[in-house]
Amino acid sequence: MLELESLSVGQYGFINNVFSFGLAVMASSTLFVWLMKGSVAPAYRMAMVITGLVTAIAGYHYLQIMLSWQGAATINTGEVLVTGEGFNRAYRYVDWLLTVPLLLIELILVMKLSKSDTMSRSVKLGGAAALMIILGYPGEVSSEVGTRALFWILAMIPFLYIVREMVVGLKDSIARQPDEVKGLINAAAILLVVSWAFYPIVYLLPLVGITGGSAIVAVETGYTIADIVSKAVFAMLIFLIAVRKSAADERELVAEAAKQGEQKTPVKKVA
């Protein structure tokens, strides 16, 4: 279990503030994309709604994590005393089980692929993401090193599949995107892969004997930063992509209409 008593009062308070910061960022990001939904074309509004859902779910879990943290210890005469309630780290897994598949679906939706492609990629990537989280959980709650290592390896299989799909599998689809969003979509895919790579590293820390107050601070701050990058910063990228694609689609529509207008004129003259 977590040795909360190895924390100083300052460290205990700092982690509380980190959780509160996470909650505030996630809630702000949610409100931003939902309130700005009207400024993207209808085709991209489902991507906006799901982008906001991911951060809303994450915000809810940061509230739960913060309350669990506050209930797990009290401060008395300058010392952190555990209450025995325990700090519920599993909230992170409950969060990821919902948000990680949705994050991949966000990216697929904003690309506006064909209907069948959207469906098959959502099922494959979303399924792999859910499987990755489910396989990670038994190792996270186990205190045995062997169990932790085994489930780390098992969870890495769907993780590597997702990385491969992001880096190689999406290449053709990204190449067909309008020029002004190619760079952004690439950046979003890379942001996901890089920020997600942080989690399996943190997962291994207890295996290599990194424990104590500073380790708890590092793990909780690290997870929170990774969550903010992969969800809220990612949300801003998805929003920007949706805005630019809305503009590109409209330009294409106008060009198409102008072309049809030109074609009509000679036809009429001939008639």
Q: Taking CB under 8 A as the rule, does residue 114 contact a copy of itself?
A: no
Is 95 or 158 the residue whose CB approaches a copy of itself more closely?
A: 95
Cα 150 from Cα 128, distance rounded (Å): 18
Q: Taking CB under 8 A as the rule, does residue 10 contact a copy of itself?
A: yes
Partner residues linked to 111 by β-bridges:
none
Which letter does DSSP use for residue 37 in this model?
Answer: G
Query: For residue 46, which of 100, 98, 107, 96 has the smallest C-alpha distance?
Result: 107
Q: How far is the CB of 147 from a copy of itself (least distance, A)?
A: 13
Q: Which two tokens stand for residue 213?
A: 């107050």
User: By CB under 8 A, which span of 24-32, 104-112, 156-164, 165-173 interacts with a copy of itself?
Assistant: 24-32
Q: Taking CB under 8 A as the rule, does residue 34 contact a copy of itself?
A: yes
Is 40 or 163 the residue whose CB approaches a copy of itself more closely?
A: 40
Q: Taking CB under 8 A as the rule, does residue 69 contact a copy of itself?
A: no
3 state SS of 77:
coil
3 state SS of 34:
helix
Give the strand pairing for 73-76 and 79-82.
antiparallel
Q: Which of 8, 11, 16, 186 binds a copy of itself (CB under 8 A)?
A: 16
C-alpha distance from residue 42 to each of 46, 198, 257, 270 (Å): 8, 35, 19, 39
Q: Which of 2, 41, 97, 174 binds a copy of itself (CB under 8 A)?
A: 97
Name the site residues for a copy of itself (rule: CB under 8 A). 9-10, 13-14, 16-17, 20-21, 23-25, 27-28, 31-32, 34-39, 42, 45-46, 49-50, 52-53, 56-57, 60-61, 64, 74-77, 84-86, 88, 90-91, 93-95, 97-98, 141
